[in-house]
Amino acid sequence: MDKVLRNLIRTTLTVIGELFARISKYSGWVSSNFLYLAQGKVGSPEWFDHRHHLLNPEKFYNDYRTASADNVTKVFPLGGRFLDLCSGDGFYDYYFFRDRASEIFCVDYNKDAYKLPVRLYKASNTTYILDDVVKYEAKESYYDVVLMRRAIEHFSQENQQIIFKRALKAFKWGKVYPDWQRER
C-alpha cells in the first residue's frame, strides 16, 4: 500500500510539474516577445536584455553567449574582485559571477540598463554604478578581472585607449581579459 501511494503521489507531482513547465515555457515566450518589441522595435536600447536567453531559449540562447562567461571563470579566482565595464543589464554578473566573487562592480551609463539589475539582480556582493566608463575612476590594482563584453567598438579610438589604460590600472595582477586581446 505504501508503494502504491508513493507511486500515485510521484505521478501526480510529475503531471503537475510538467503542466507548469509548459505554462512557464509559453509564458516565457510571450514575455520575451513583448519585451523584445518594447525594447528593440519601439525603443532602440544600446544594451540587450539577457533575460531573453531564459525566457525564449529557442530564439535567443546559443553557446557563444556563454563562451565569454566561460572564459572569465577560467581566470577568475574564487573570492576574487570583479569589475564589469558597460555591464548593461547585469545578467552575466548575477548568473555567472556572483557566487564566485567577493565583490562585483558593474558600471554602465545607460539609465534603463542600470535600472534593470538594480530591480532584478540584487546581491550583497554586487554594486551597480551609473557612470560613464570613459570617466569612471576604478580602484587601482584592485580587481582580479576587468571585463567589457561586446562594447568597446561603440567608443572612439581615443576613448578606447582611455578605457584600456584605466582597465589596466584597475587590474590587481596584470591579466587582460581575452576579448580585449584581439588582433587589429
Q: Looking at the domain assignment, is residue 12 inside a domain?
A: yes
Where is pLDDT greater, at 40 or 28? 28
Q: Looking at the structure, do residues 89 and 144 belong to the same domain, yes or no?
A: yes
Q: Looking at the domain assignment, is residue 53 inside a domain?
A: no
pLDDT in tens, 122-133: 999 999 999 999
Contact 114, 108 (CB under 8 A): yes
Q: Looking at the domain assignment, is residue 91 inside a domain?
A: yes
Q: Across the strands, what pairs with 39? A: none
Q: Looking at the structure, do residues 117 and 170 belong to the same domain, yes or no?
A: yes
Where is pLDDT greater, at 42 or 28? 28
Q: Looking at the structure, do residues 36 and 65 belong to the same domain, yes or no?
A: no
Amino acid (one-letter) located at 103: E
Burial of 13 (0-12, 13-18, 19+ CB in 10 A): exposed
Main-chain phi, psi angles of 125, to 5 degrees: -100, 10
Q: Looking at the domain assignment, is residue 106 inside a domain?
A: yes
Where is pLDDT greater, at 74 or 102? 102
**CATH code for the domain in which residue 86 is found:** 3.40.50.150
Q: What is the mean pLDDT of residues 65-72?
A: 78
Domain that holds residue 148: 61-179
pLDDT in tens, 137-173: 999 999 999 988 878 888 999 999 999 999 999 988 6
What's the structural domain count of the chain?
2
Q: How far apart are CA 56 and CA 39, in angstroms?
A: 15
Amino acid (one-letter) located at 66: T
| pLDDT confidence bin for 181, thresholds 50/70/90 | very low
Q: Looking at the structure, do residues 28 and 72 belong to the same domain, yes or no?
A: no
Q: Looking at the domain assignment, is residue 49 inside a domain?
A: no
Place of cell 577560467: 74
Q: Looking at the domain assignment, is residue 51 inside a domain?
A: no
Q: Looking at the domain assignment, is residue 22 inside a domain?
A: yes
Amino acid (one-letter) located at 122: K
pLDDT in tens, 95-106: 999 999 999 999
Q: Strands 101-108 and 126-130, how do they pair?
A: parallel
Q: Looking at the structure, do residues 39 and 83 belong to the same domain, yes or no?
A: no
